[in-house]
A = this chain, B = another copy of it.
Protein backbone atom coordinates (compact mmCIF):
# COMPACT_ATOMS: atom_id res chain seq x y z
CA UNK A 1 0.00 0.00 0.00
CA UNK A 2 1.59 3.21 -1.13
CA UNK A 3 0.73 6.75 -2.00
CA UNK A 4 -0.25 5.75 -5.53
CA UNK A 5 -2.79 3.25 -4.31
CA UNK A 6 -4.32 5.84 -2.06
CA UNK A 7 -4.44 8.47 -4.75
CA UNK A 8 -6.13 6.06 -7.10
CA UNK A 9 -8.74 4.92 -4.60
CA UNK A 10 -9.45 8.50 -3.65
CA UNK A 11 -9.55 9.66 -7.23
CA UNK A 12 -6.86 12.31 -6.77
CA UNK A 13 -3.18 12.71 -7.57
CA UNK A 14 -0.36 11.59 -5.36
CA UNK A 15 0.56 15.22 -4.76
CA UNK A 16 -2.73 15.82 -3.02
CA UNK A 17 -2.31 12.71 -0.94
CA UNK A 18 1.14 13.84 0.01
CA UNK A 19 -0.29 17.20 0.99
CA UNK A 20 -2.75 15.81 3.47
CA UNK A 21 -0.01 13.53 4.73
CA UNK A 22 2.06 16.57 5.54
CA UNK A 23 -0.73 18.72 6.86
CA UNK A 24 -0.48 21.13 3.99
CA UNK A 25 -3.34 23.60 4.24
CA UNK A 26 -4.04 23.96 0.57
CA UNK A 27 -6.40 21.05 0.24
CA UNK A 28 -10.16 21.36 0.18
CA UNK A 29 -11.93 19.93 3.17
CA UNK A 30 -13.85 17.59 0.99
CA UNK A 31 -10.91 15.90 -0.69
CA UNK A 32 -8.98 15.85 2.55
CA UNK A 33 -11.76 13.92 4.22
CA UNK A 34 -12.03 11.60 1.29
CA UNK A 35 -8.33 10.85 1.38
CA UNK A 36 -8.25 10.44 5.13
CA UNK A 37 -11.11 7.99 4.85
CA UNK A 38 -9.28 5.92 2.28
CA UNK A 39 -6.15 5.91 4.40
CA UNK A 40 -8.14 4.80 7.38
CA UNK A 41 -9.89 1.98 5.60
CA UNK A 42 -6.74 0.68 3.94
CA UNK A 43 -4.62 1.10 7.05
CA UNK A 44 -2.09 2.95 4.99
CA UNK A 45 1.22 3.90 6.58
CA UNK A 46 3.69 6.08 4.73
CA UNK A 47 7.03 4.49 4.06
CA UNK A 48 9.57 6.12 6.30
CA UNK A 49 12.49 5.13 4.12
CA UNK A 50 11.11 6.90 1.08
CA UNK A 51 10.28 9.84 3.28
CA UNK A 52 13.74 9.80 4.75
CA UNK A 53 15.29 9.63 1.35
CA UNK A 54 13.60 12.81 0.24
CA UNK A 55 13.86 14.76 3.48
CA UNK A 56 17.13 13.24 4.62
CA UNK A 57 15.83 12.68 8.10
CA UNK A 58 13.88 10.09 9.98
CA UNK A 59 13.32 12.03 13.18
CA UNK A 60 15.74 9.90 15.07
CA UNK A 61 18.43 10.90 17.48
CA UNK A 62 21.33 8.75 18.51
CA UNK A 63 21.68 8.36 22.24
CA UNK A 64 24.99 7.08 23.45
CA UNK A 65 25.84 6.03 26.95
CA UNK A 66 28.69 3.99 28.26
CA UNK A 67 26.52 1.45 30.03
CA UNK A 68 22.76 1.62 30.20
CA UNK A 69 22.70 -0.86 33.04
CA UNK A 70 24.45 1.66 35.25
CA UNK A 71 21.66 3.01 37.44
CA UNK A 72 22.61 6.63 37.07
CA UNK A 73 23.02 6.50 33.31
CA UNK A 74 19.92 4.38 32.90
CA UNK A 75 17.86 6.96 34.67
CA UNK A 76 19.22 9.76 32.52
CA UNK A 77 18.68 7.77 29.34
CA UNK A 78 15.13 7.09 30.40
CA UNK A 79 14.39 10.75 30.81
CA UNK A 80 16.06 11.59 27.55
CA UNK A 81 13.91 9.03 25.77
CA UNK A 82 10.72 10.27 27.35
CA UNK A 83 11.47 13.85 26.50
CA UNK A 84 12.41 13.07 22.92
CA UNK A 85 9.24 11.08 22.56
CA UNK A 86 7.25 14.17 23.43
CA UNK A 87 8.76 15.83 20.39
CA UNK A 88 8.10 12.83 18.17
CA UNK A 89 11.72 11.83 17.99
CA UNK A 90 12.91 8.29 18.36
CA UNK A 91 15.96 7.00 20.13
CA UNK A 92 18.65 4.89 18.61
CA UNK A 93 20.41 3.55 21.68
CA UNK A 94 24.08 2.67 21.84
CA UNK A 95 25.88 1.29 24.86
CA UNK A 96 29.44 2.09 24.01
CA UNK A 97 31.45 1.06 27.00
CA UNK A 98 34.33 3.22 28.17
CA UNK A 99 36.91 2.77 25.43
CA UNK A 100 37.46 5.71 23.13
CA UNK A 101 37.80 3.56 20.09
CA UNK A 102 34.49 1.83 20.70
CA UNK A 103 32.79 5.13 21.36
CA UNK A 104 34.06 6.52 18.10
CA UNK A 105 32.94 3.45 16.20
CA UNK A 106 29.46 3.65 17.62
CA UNK A 107 29.30 7.29 16.80
CA UNK A 108 30.19 6.66 13.19
CA UNK A 109 27.57 4.00 13.07
CA UNK A 110 24.96 6.47 14.24
CA UNK A 111 26.16 9.06 11.81
CA UNK A 112 25.94 6.57 8.98
CA UNK A 113 22.36 5.94 10.04
CA UNK A 114 21.73 9.61 9.43
CA UNK A 115 20.49 10.51 12.89
CA UNK A 116 19.35 14.09 13.29
CA UNK A 117 21.50 14.63 16.35
CA UNK A 118 23.58 12.91 18.97
CA UNK A 119 23.08 12.94 22.70
CA UNK A 120 25.97 11.69 24.78
CA UNK A 121 24.81 10.76 28.23
CA UNK A 122 27.34 10.78 31.01
CA UNK A 123 30.59 12.52 31.64
CA UNK A 124 32.73 9.56 30.65
CA UNK A 125 32.55 10.85 27.09
CA UNK A 126 34.76 13.80 27.77
CA UNK A 127 38.29 12.88 28.68
CA UNK A 128 41.10 14.99 29.92
CA UNK A 129 43.25 14.14 26.95
CA UNK A 130 41.69 16.31 24.26
CA UNK A 131 42.85 14.03 21.50
CA UNK A 132 40.43 11.45 22.77
CA UNK A 133 37.56 13.89 22.34
CA UNK A 134 38.41 14.64 18.76
CA UNK A 135 35.91 12.24 17.31
CA UNK A 136 33.15 14.22 18.98
CA UNK A 137 34.31 17.44 17.40
CA UNK A 138 34.34 15.70 14.05
CA UNK A 139 30.84 14.36 14.54
CA UNK A 140 29.59 17.81 15.45
CA UNK A 141 30.41 18.90 11.94
CA UNK A 142 27.60 16.68 10.73
CA UNK A 143 24.92 17.00 13.39
CA UNK A 144 24.43 18.83 16.66
CA UNK A 145 25.94 17.01 19.61
CA UNK A 146 24.40 17.36 23.04
CA UNK A 147 26.43 16.45 26.10
CA UNK A 148 24.63 15.46 29.26
CA UNK A 149 26.78 16.24 32.26
CA UNK A 150 29.95 16.85 30.35
CA UNK A 151 31.52 19.86 28.77
CA UNK A 152 33.44 20.37 25.60
CA UNK A 153 34.07 23.71 23.99
CA UNK A 154 33.55 23.04 20.32
CA UNK A 155 31.40 24.21 17.47
CA UNK A 156 27.94 22.66 17.32
CA UNK A 157 28.30 20.85 20.61
CA UNK A 158 26.04 21.91 23.45
CA UNK A 159 26.28 20.97 27.07
CA UNK A 160 23.86 20.51 29.93
CA UNK A 161 26.11 20.08 32.92
CA UNK A 162 25.43 19.32 36.54
CA UNK A 163 26.99 21.62 39.04
CA UNK A 164 29.16 18.94 40.58
CA UNK A 165 32.01 21.27 41.30
CA UNK A 166 29.91 23.68 43.32
CA UNK A 167 28.14 20.93 45.19
CA UNK A 168 31.40 19.34 46.17
CA UNK A 169 32.93 22.62 47.14
CA UNK A 170 30.01 23.50 49.32
CA UNK A 171 29.80 20.26 51.19
CA UNK A 172 33.54 19.90 51.60
CA UNK A 173 33.77 23.37 53.05
CA UNK A 174 31.14 22.55 55.61
CA UNK A 175 33.07 19.51 56.71
CA UNK A 176 36.30 21.45 56.85
CA UNK A 177 34.75 24.17 58.91
CA UNK A 178 33.78 21.50 61.41
CA UNK A 179 37.43 20.47 61.49
CA UNK A 180 36.69 17.08 60.07
CA UNK A 181 39.30 14.77 58.68
CA UNK A 182 38.10 13.95 55.16
CA UNK A 183 38.76 10.96 53.00
CA UNK A 184 37.50 11.23 49.44
CA UNK A 185 36.89 8.13 47.39
CA UNK A 186 36.31 8.58 43.70
CA UNK A 187 35.81 6.50 40.66
CA UNK A 188 37.23 8.13 37.58
CA UNK A 189 38.73 11.16 35.96
CA UNK A 190 35.79 11.69 33.65
CA UNK A 191 34.56 15.22 33.22
CA UNK A 192 32.39 15.16 36.31
CA UNK A 193 35.09 13.25 38.15
CA UNK A 194 37.44 16.13 37.54
CA UNK A 195 34.81 18.67 38.48
CA UNK A 196 34.22 17.02 41.81
CA UNK A 197 37.91 16.85 42.52
CA UNK A 198 38.21 20.49 41.64
CA UNK A 199 35.34 21.38 43.93
CA UNK A 200 37.08 19.70 46.80
CA UNK A 201 40.31 21.53 46.08
CA UNK A 202 38.35 24.77 45.89
CA UNK A 203 36.96 24.16 49.35
CA UNK A 204 40.34 23.38 50.84
CA UNK A 205 41.67 26.56 49.33
CA UNK A 206 38.70 28.48 50.72
CA UNK A 207 39.76 27.29 54.14
CA UNK A 208 43.41 28.02 53.58
CA UNK A 209 44.27 24.35 53.43
CA UNK A 210 45.42 21.83 50.91
CA UNK A 211 44.27 18.25 50.65
CA UNK A 212 46.90 15.62 51.28
CA UNK A 213 47.66 13.29 48.41
CA UNK A 214 46.33 10.27 50.24
CA UNK A 215 43.11 11.99 51.24
CA UNK A 216 41.75 11.50 47.75
CA UNK A 217 41.89 8.01 46.41
CA UNK A 218 40.91 6.65 43.03
CA UNK A 219 38.92 3.45 43.34
CA UNK A 220 38.37 2.76 39.65
CA UNK A 221 36.46 -0.52 39.31
CA UNK A 222 36.15 -1.29 43.00
CA UNK A 223 33.09 -3.15 44.11
CA UNK A 224 31.40 -2.53 47.42
CA UNK A 225 33.44 -5.32 48.92
CA UNK A 226 36.68 -3.96 47.48
CA UNK A 227 35.91 -0.62 49.01
CA UNK A 228 35.19 -2.08 52.41
CA UNK A 229 38.44 -4.02 52.29
CA UNK A 230 40.42 -1.04 51.18
CA UNK A 231 39.16 1.07 54.04
CA UNK A 232 39.77 -1.70 56.52
CA UNK A 233 43.32 -2.02 55.33
CA UNK A 234 43.98 1.67 55.61
CA UNK A 235 42.46 1.77 59.03
CA UNK A 236 44.60 -1.15 60.00
CA UNK A 237 47.63 0.85 58.94
CA UNK A 238 46.69 3.47 61.46
CA UNK A 239 45.32 6.03 59.03
CA UNK A 240 42.34 7.87 60.49
CA UNK A 241 39.46 9.98 59.17
CA UNK A 242 35.97 10.82 60.31
CA UNK A 243 34.34 11.75 57.05
CA UNK A 244 34.16 9.63 53.93
CA UNK A 245 33.06 11.55 50.88
CA UNK A 246 32.48 9.66 47.67
CA UNK A 247 31.86 10.24 44.00
CA UNK A 248 29.01 7.74 43.93
CA UNK A 249 26.65 5.99 46.30
CA UNK A 250 28.17 2.60 45.74
CA UNK A 251 31.43 3.70 47.27
CA UNK A 252 29.43 5.13 50.14
CA UNK A 253 27.79 1.77 50.70
CA UNK A 254 31.24 0.26 50.91
CA UNK A 255 32.12 2.82 53.54
CA UNK A 256 29.00 1.91 55.51
CA UNK A 257 29.95 -1.73 55.45
CA UNK A 258 33.42 -0.85 56.65
CA UNK A 259 32.07 1.26 59.49
CA UNK A 260 29.83 -1.53 60.65
CA UNK A 261 32.57 -4.12 60.49
CA UNK A 262 34.93 -1.82 62.33
CA UNK A 263 32.36 -1.04 65.01
CA UNK A 264 32.33 2.64 64.11
CA UNK A 265 29.06 4.43 64.71
CA UNK A 266 27.68 6.31 61.73
CA UNK A 267 27.40 9.26 61.74
CA UNK A 268 28.81 9.92 65.24
CA UNK A 269 32.21 8.33 64.73
CA UNK A 270 32.27 8.64 61.00
CA UNK A 271 30.15 10.52 58.54
CA UNK A 272 29.56 9.23 55.05
CA UNK A 273 28.38 11.14 52.02
CA UNK A 274 27.24 9.50 48.83
CA UNK A 275 26.66 10.99 45.43
CA UNK A 276 23.83 10.65 42.88
CA UNK A 277 20.93 9.93 45.18
CA UNK A 278 20.50 6.58 43.53
CA UNK A 279 18.21 3.94 44.92
CA UNK A 280 21.01 2.14 46.67
CA UNK A 281 21.46 5.10 48.99
CA UNK A 282 18.18 4.21 50.69
CA UNK A 283 18.85 0.48 50.69
CA UNK A 284 21.90 0.81 52.84
CA UNK A 285 21.83 0.81 56.61
CA UNK A 286 21.95 3.52 57.76
CA UNK A 287 20.41 5.35 54.83
CA UNK A 288 22.97 7.43 53.07
CA UNK A 289 23.08 11.20 52.84
CA UNK A 290 23.89 12.01 49.28
CA UNK A 291 24.16 14.70 46.66
CA UNK A 292 21.56 14.73 43.93
CA UNK A 293 23.04 16.45 40.94
CA UNK A 294 19.76 16.19 39.02
CA UNK A 295 21.22 14.44 36.07
CA UNK A 296 17.76 13.56 34.75
CA UNK A 297 17.03 17.24 34.57
CA UNK A 298 20.20 17.71 32.57
CA UNK A 299 18.91 15.01 30.27
CA UNK A 300 15.55 16.58 29.61
CA UNK A 301 17.15 19.98 29.33
CA UNK A 302 19.53 18.72 26.69
CA UNK A 303 16.58 17.45 24.70
CA UNK A 304 14.67 20.70 25.03
CA UNK A 305 17.66 22.64 23.85
CA UNK A 306 18.24 20.26 21.02
CA UNK A 307 14.75 20.97 19.77
CA UNK A 308 15.55 24.66 19.72
CA UNK A 309 18.72 24.00 17.82
CA UNK A 310 16.93 21.87 15.25
CA UNK A 311 14.57 24.79 14.79
CA UNK A 312 17.64 26.86 14.02
CA UNK A 313 17.23 28.93 17.14
CA UNK A 314 20.10 30.21 19.20
CA UNK A 315 20.98 28.26 22.31
CA UNK A 316 23.57 28.74 25.03
CA UNK A 317 26.49 26.46 24.51
CA UNK A 318 26.55 25.52 28.17
CA UNK A 319 23.75 25.32 30.68
CA UNK A 320 24.25 24.46 34.30
CA UNK A 321 21.80 22.42 36.31
CA UNK A 322 21.69 23.02 40.03
CA UNK A 323 22.18 20.17 42.44
CA UNK A 324 20.65 19.44 45.80
CA UNK A 325 21.67 17.88 49.09
CA UNK A 326 19.63 14.92 50.27
CA UNK A 327 20.34 14.54 53.93
CA UNK A 328 19.64 11.21 55.53
CA UNK A 329 21.28 9.27 58.31
CA UNK A 330 25.00 9.19 57.58
CA UNK A 331 25.78 12.86 58.22
CA UNK A 332 25.29 15.35 61.03
CA UNK A 333 27.28 18.40 60.20
CA UNK A 334 25.47 19.45 57.07
Contact = CB atoms under 8 A, between A and B. Distances in A.
A211 interface: no
A90 B61 CA distance: 12
A278 to B, nearest CB: 9
B282 A285 contact: no
Interface in A35-53: 45-50, 52-53
A219 interface: no
Given A260-B285, A285-B260, A47 B58 contact: no
Contacts of A45: 111-112
Contacts of A50: 49, 53
A107 interface: no
B92 A91 contact: yes
Given A95-B82, A283-B283, A284-B284, A68 B58 contact: no
B95 A81 contact: yes
Using C-beta atoms within 8 Å of the partner chain, give the interface range for chain A.
35 or more
Nearest to A260: B285
B78 A95 contact: yes
A77 interface: yes
A49 B283 contact: no
Given A49-B53, A81-B94, A93-B93, A224 B58 contact: no
A197 interface: no
A28 interface: no
Given A68-B81, A77-B68, A82-B95, A49 B285 contact: no
Q: Which of A85, A90, A109 has the most CB of B within 10 A?
A: A90
Which 8 A-B pairs rank lowest in CB-CB distance, beginning with the nearest? A49-B52, A285-B285, A69-B78, A74-B74, A93-B93, A49-B53, A283-B283, A280-B283
Interface of A: 45-50, 52-53, 56, 58, 60, 63, 67-69, 71, 74-75, 77-79, 81-82, 85, 90-95, 109, 111-114, 224, 250, 253, 256-257, 260, 279-280, 282-285
Given A45-B112, A60-B92, A91-B94, 10 more contacts: A47-B114, A48-B112, A52-B52, A52-B53, A68-B74, A77-B93, A85-B95, A90-B113, A250-B283, A279-B280
